[in-house]
Amino acid sequence: MIREAVSFYNSKGQRIAGRVHRSEKQSKTGMIYCHGLFSTKDGHKITTMAPDLVSAGYTLLTFDFSFVGESEGDISELSILQEVDDLSHAATFLAEQGIETMHLVGSSMGGVVSLLHAARCDRYRSLSLIATPVMLPELLNALGITDISALPDDGMTDMQGFLINNRFFKEHQSIDMEGSISSLSLPTLIIHGERDAVVPPENATHLYARLLSEKHLIMIEGGEHNLSRDSDVERIKESIINWMSKHDE
């Protein structure tokens, strides 16, 4: 497997750092992976899965959203909508590399970004969502953000040890997650840990119940939010490869 450092730019002109995993003769079928909130393109799950994804015939693009990792930007300016923009430019970049068929995979908050993007883009053959918090108000409540309107517009709020601009929390009010779910036409694989205490499993069943497209739900027994056990990663890898190969044509 060949691993190449790549970069492209988002609409703000920020340099986005990426990594392409490919075979010697690059496949024209690709997969984009979107990492979680405070993870990076080189997270444990995707790094572990990459060799088998490439062996299965996929050119894999991982990238750091602006605000984290090696990409330009600052974590304090975190924005889901900006990450959707980052993903759009990642897809354009991959297409420019000669990839003709694409699949999209998102983990945790990267799943939210993937879902929002896929709901308004017809570029992909399938979508896979891992531990995705589609019930955003409940997630903010769990993080201690119970009254968004009370947050000062120009203030900062601590979230898991990071000072985040309040615009991040306020933009949630403009995100139509339910509308995006109902308008999604892609075959969607939902993977969730049954013991996820960060993003409760109700998020997965809520998503499954409201999707109108082809769908499949996998609950991983004993799985927590990070799904980092060897058996978890193996189950995720096999499930995603099977789902993508089923929808390659």
Separation in Å, CA 114 to CA 33, 81, 121, 195 = 9, 11, 10, 23
Report if residue 120 sits inside a domain. Answer: yes
According to DSSP, the residues that pair with 32 across neighbouring strands are 61, 104
Per-residue DSSP letter, 43? -
Region of 174 please: left (phi>0), alpha (psi -120 to 50) or beta. alpha
The span from the CA of 81 to the CA of 1, in Å, is 33
Q: Which residues are CB-neighbours of 94 under 8 A, at least 6 positions away?
A: 30, 32, 59, 61, 102
| Tokens 């970049």 found at | 93
Report if residue 103 sits inside a domain. Answer: yes
Per residue in 136-148, pLDDT tens?
A: 888 888 777 888 8
Per residue in 151-160, pLDDT tens?
A: 888 899 888 7
**Average pLDDT value for residue range 90-119:** 97
Pairing label, strands 2-9, 15-22: antiparallel
How many domains, the chain? 1
Q: Is 113 helix (H, G, I), strand (E, B) or coil?
A: helix
Residue pair 1/51 in contact (Cβ under 8 Å)? The answer is yes
Element (H, E) at 118: helix 109-118
Neighbours of 172 (CB within 10 A): 16
- Position 107 pLDDT exceeds 80: yes
Q: What is the CATH number of the domain that holds 212?
A: 3.40.50.1820
Report if residue 145 sits inside a domain. Answer: no
The span from the CA of 10 to the CA of 136, in Å, is 25
Judged by average pLDDT, the poorest of 69-83, 116-130, 154-168 is: 154-168
Give me the chain's average pLDDT, please: 95
Report if residue 171 sits inside a domain. Answer: no
Report if residue 223 sits inside a domain. Answer: yes
Report if residue 114 sits inside a domain. Answer: yes
Report if residue 20 sits inside a domain. Answer: yes
Residue 146: the pLDDT is: 82
Instruction: Provide the domain limits for residue 23.
Output: 2-135+177-246
Exposure class string for 218-230: b at 16+ Cβ within 10 A, else e: bebeebbbbbeee
Report if residue 75 sits inside a domain. Answer: yes
